Amino acid sequence: MDHFVYRPDRHDGGDHVAMHCEQLPAEEIARLAGTPCYVYSKATLLEHYQRLTAAFAPLAPLVCYSIKSCGNLSICKLLGEAGAGMDVVSGGELYRALAAGVPASRCVYAGVGKTDAEIEQALDAGLGASGLGLFNVESEEEFENIARIARRKNAVCNAALRVNPDVDPKTHRYTSTGKKESKFGVDIERAKAFFRRFGRDPHCRLCGIHLHIGSPIYTTQPYVESVQKATALIDELAAEGFTITTLDLGGGFGADYETDQSPTLAAYADAIVPLLAARVLRGLKIILEPGRTLVANAGVLLTRVLYIKTSGEKTFAICDAGMNDLLRPSLYQAFHFIWPCRTTASFAPARRAKDMAIDGLLPIDVVGPICESGDFFAVDRPLPPLRRGDLLAIYTAGAYGMAMASRYNSTPLPAEVLVDGSTLAIVRKRESYEDLIAHERSPEPVVTG
Ligand code: PLP
């Protein structure tokens, strides 16, 4: 699954185990990078990418990594070098993709609120002009705006219409996007009218259908339903003379926050490939936009226990990371497996689960230092007894971890490190207090008179 594993602790008589990222002990990483810090495993990331491309090989998809899940340039570069394109949703993400060396011809650009400046930036970069790159258009007004700007620039770009297949992905309501009443895309009935109105525009060429129904999606059925609806739409459009050359299936494949929680990538592919293989042979191009499934388990957040505190019936482990570093538990009540990086062998976790049935575990709230009651990573979580100074790993933190981190309570953003075998690289240095105020100025009027 990943390369974060417990091995006998070589500084000990054999009674203890220590968590390693690839060949490096977590304690060593924390010593070099400090805490809190995000740790990414290169081998895990690339294995996930290879597993995905192997599973979907019959569709020969362009895999556009969803930058929003983890935008670190080194992560984007590794995936870009492995052959991935990028799924971007802002000018900043497009800037990152280009900075990572991924050409705009391998980028797809979604997002309901693209500004004029962002559209110009994407057109100037050549997005949609060649290759499989596409604007993923989310509304009539946005289409008109892209076409207007392209016309003014005398440019031509390819676009896909994002369609809501009205399928329930059975995920958190904040990350469910494929229902009819979603702010994303247009519903399938409007799609035909959309093509009739805009499908022959010479500057913004509508040649694709885009789906993204939610994240994470832990069953294959919502994909089957939405692909079936999309292919039916493609046929209806063909009957009206509109040729769809590209189907972008979006992202949303699950990740194992608990052991074996998610279908394997091969299981997703087994459900989807038969629905599309014949069309691919006839020339349909497929795009996938995975984020979480590639990077979630390629990263952990390391945090140090600052204090153990008892209050009423409760025991709290107060850590140096908080909701400012990893927001998912506070925002979505998301589960992240947490375990001390060094423990006695009897506490070595054989799997990752909410209810770990090991003798001697104690219920603990793992919380951060932020002044919010919602600043927690786990509530009443069975854990080995903890002490001040213990190093904890918060697992499956590679996706939507650092990407959502903030400086709330004036906390500098944490470091990010990339481990490759027994070498470590700091791929984003920890911010300093100077960084916190670097963009602030004493009030000076900009407009006078
Ligand atoms: N594509 C689009 C349009 C998205 O909005 C998202 C996530 O929100 C993704 C892809 C990536 O989803 P995931 O990380 O679950 O694969």
- Cα distance between residue 19 and residue 23, in whole Å: 10
Report yes or no: 204 and 159 within 8 Å, Cβ to Cβ: yes
Provide mean pLDDT across the span 74-97.
98
Give the model's pLDDT for residue 176.
Answer: 63
Element (H, E) at 434: helix 433-437
- Cα distance between residue 59 and residue 323, in whole Å: 40
Proportion of the chain above pLDDT 90, given as a percent: 90
Give the model's pLDDT for residue 221.
Answer: 95
Rounded to 10°, the helix 188-198/140-152 angle is 30
Considering only CA atoms, which residue is closest to atom 15 of ligand 1? 252
Through-space distance between the first and last CA atoms of the chain, rounded to whole angstroms: 64
Give the model's pLDDT for residue 120.
Answer: 98
- Cα distance between residue 133 and residue 140, in whole Å: 20
The pTM for the full model equals 0.96
Of 442 and 83, the structure prediction assigns the larger pLDDT to: 83
Residue 179 clears pLDDT 80, i.e. is over it: no
CA 253 to centroid of ligand 1, rounded, Å? 9
Provide mean pLDDT across the span 358-375.
96
Report yes or no: 39 and 299 within 8 Å, Cβ to Cβ: yes
CA 348 to centroid of ligand 1, rounded, Å? 34
Tens-digit pLDDT profile for residues 204-235 = 999 999 999 999 999 999 999 999 999 999 99
- List phi, psi (to 5°) of 142: -65, -40
Write 329-335 long-range contacts (CB < 8 A, 24+). 329/376, 329/377, 329/378, 330/372, 330/374, 330/375, 330/376, 331/174, 331/404, 332/172, 332/174, 332/175, 334/172, 334/257, 335/257, 335/258
Task: Give me the chain's average pLDDT, please.
Answer: 95
Q: Does residue 87 line the site of ligand 1, with CB under 6 A?
A: yes
CA 58 to centroid of ligand 1, rounded, Å? 22
Residue 177 clears pLDDT 70, i.e. is over it: no
- The CA dihedral of 279, 282, 285, 291, to the nearest 10 degrees, is 40
Give the model's pLDDT for residue 183.
Answer: 75
- Cα distance between residue 178 and residue 209, in whole Å: 13
3-state DSSP assignment of residue 48: helix
**Burial of 423 per CB tally in 10 Å (0-12, 13-18, 19+):** exposed
The CA radius of gyration of the chain, in Å to the nearest whole number, is 23
DSSP E strand stretches across 211-350: 246-248, 285-288, 299-311, 314-319, 338-340, 342-344
Provide mean pLDDT across the span 74-100.
98
Tens-digit pLDDT profile for residues 18-58 = 999 999 999 999 999 999 999 999 999 999 999 999 999 99
Tens-digit pLDDT profile for residues 245-279 = 999 999 999 999 999 999 999 999 999 999 999 99
Tens-digit pLDDT profile for residues 304-343 = 999 999 999 999 999 999 999 999 999 999 999 999 999 9
pLDDT bucket at 447, cuts 50 / 70 / 90: confident
Q: Does residue 289 line the site of ligand 1, with CB under 6 A?
A: yes
Residue 449 clears pLDDT 70, i.e. is over it: no
Q: Does residue 416 line the site of ligand 1, with CB under 6 A?
A: no
- Cα distance between residue 231 and residue 212, in whole Å: 15
Q: Any bridge partners for residue 392, and if so which?
A: 303, 340
Give the model's pLDDT for residue 188.
Answer: 87
Is 319 catalytic? The answer is no
Give the model's pLDDT for residue 181.
Answer: 66
Pocket test for ligand 1, best of 134, 212, 219 (most atoms within 8 A of CB): 212
